[in-house]
């Protein structure tokens, strides 16, 4: 299953479609520095949508937060080290 991973950097926003396991590993701090660098490199700048679509996750690397928009992932069961925020839309 692919999800839309939005990366929040200051006032900018980038997006990359990734497999759901990437999001699970991200919130558990199980990605290497090179994998995180690849996310930053490959993500494309986008405008902030008025409403995030279902299946999206908005992450902030500096604050280690992930806002899940009905991503149908049971991230709390995966013992995350990041702060998870659930949103319906």
- pLDDT tens for 8-50 read 998 899 999 999 999 999 999 999 999 999 999 999 999 999 9
CA distances from 2 to 12, 18, 22, 62, 72 (A): 22, 5, 10, 24, 11
Report, as an integer, the average pLDDT of 55-71.
Answer: 91
Alpha-carbon span 33 to 25, nearest angstrom? 12
Q: In the structure, what pLDDT confidence band is assigned to residue 89 with cuts at 50, 70 and 90?
A: low
Residue pair 29/62 in contact by the 8 Å Cβ criterion = no
Percent of the residues in the chain that have a pLDDT greater than 90, as a whole number: 74
Nearest Cα neighbor of 22 from 49, 45, 1 is: 1
Q: Which helix (H) or strand (E) holds 47?
A: none
């Amino acid at each position: 299953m692919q999800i839309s991973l939005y990366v929040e950097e200051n006032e900018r926003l980038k997006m990359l479609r990734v497999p759901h396991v990437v999001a699970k590993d991200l919130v558990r701090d199980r990605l290497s520095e090179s994998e995180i660098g690849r996310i930053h490199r490959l993500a494309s700048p986008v405008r902030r949508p008025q409403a995030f679509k279902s299946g999206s996750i908005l992450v902030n690397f500096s604050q280690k937060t992930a806002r899940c928009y009905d991503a149908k992932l049971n991230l709390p069961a995966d013992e995350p080290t990041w702060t998870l925020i659930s949103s319906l839309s």
